[in-house]
């Protein structure tokens, strides 16, 4: 079941495609993608969909909820969500907009990335810097209507690149957190205090 309120401005883009057998055999493929200039009352809730969705916030913030997890996805943050269990997302309360890119994607490569980007099945936003993610989304949107072998390859590479950026950010954050904990554990030793 799907319910939604498409409170988006006219410049929003929503593209759909039906993947070929060759595309379905790839490690990464997409079925829909877009950029939504969502306003205050934008919302979507669904019970299930056979895919993942990757969000990337350009401006404002979105609220994403699934099971016990709920996160606010702020500017510059990305999030992978497995749509096979009930979920909802909307413009975050108190925000006037949620301008975001999104793509429904699937394939063995996405499944392999899930434990890293959804640790313990918990929604985990990642902070990204620079414009690379936006460029990759624009590549996908530009290639979706072409429907040839080259576009299939370009979309697969872009999807892989997007998930790789998320994974690199997630791993860097984990290393920073881990290093911070080691330093905190060592600080009492340097200060001559018991640990």
- Tell me which residue has tokens 């929503």: 14
- pLDDT for 186 equals 47
Domain residue limits, the chain: 2-190
- pLDDT for 13 equals 97
- pLDDT for 194 equals 52
- Tokens in use for 139? 């590549």
Helices (H), ranges, the chain:
21-24, 108-117, 132-143, 149-190
What is the rounded CA–CA span in Å between residue 152 and residue 137? 14
- pLDDT for 145 equals 86
- pLDDT for 35 equals 98
Which tens digit of pLDDT belongs to each residue from 122-177?
999 999 988 999 999 999 999 998 988 899 999 999 999 999 999 999 888 766 55
Asked if pLDDT for residue 121 goes beyond 50, the answer is: yes
- pLDDT for 187 equals 47
Which tens digit of pLDDT belongs to each residue from 75-109?
999 999 999 999 999 999 999 999 999 999 999 99
Homologous superfamily (CATH) of 2-190 is Regulatory protein AraC (2.60.120.280)
Asked if pLDDT for residue 189 goes beyond 70, the answer is: no
């Amino acid at each position: 079941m799907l319910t939604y309120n498409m409170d988006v401005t006219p410049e929003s883009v929503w593209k759909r495609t039906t993947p070929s057998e060759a595309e379905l055999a790839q490690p990464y493929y997409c079925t829909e993608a877009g950029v939504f200039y969502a306003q205050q009352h934008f919302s979507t809730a669904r019970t299930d969909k056979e895919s993942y969705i990757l969000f990337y916030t350009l401006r404002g913030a979105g609220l994403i909820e699934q099971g016990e997890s709920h996160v606010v996805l702020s500017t510059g943050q990305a999030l992978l969500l497995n749509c096979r269990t009930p979920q909802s997302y909307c413009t975050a309360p108190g925000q006037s907009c949620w301008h975001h890119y999104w793509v429904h994607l699937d394939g063995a490569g996405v499944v392999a990335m899930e434990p890293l980007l959804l640790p313990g099945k918990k929604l985990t936003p990642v902070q990204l810097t620079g414009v690379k993610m936006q460029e990759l989304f624009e590549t996908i949107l530009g290639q979706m209507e072409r429907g040839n072998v080259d576009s299939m390859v370009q979309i697969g590479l872009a999807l892989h690149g997007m998930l790789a950026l998320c994974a690199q950010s997630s791993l860097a954050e984990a290393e920073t957190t881990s290093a911070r904990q080691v330093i905190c554990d060592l600080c009492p030793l340097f200060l001559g205090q018991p640990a």
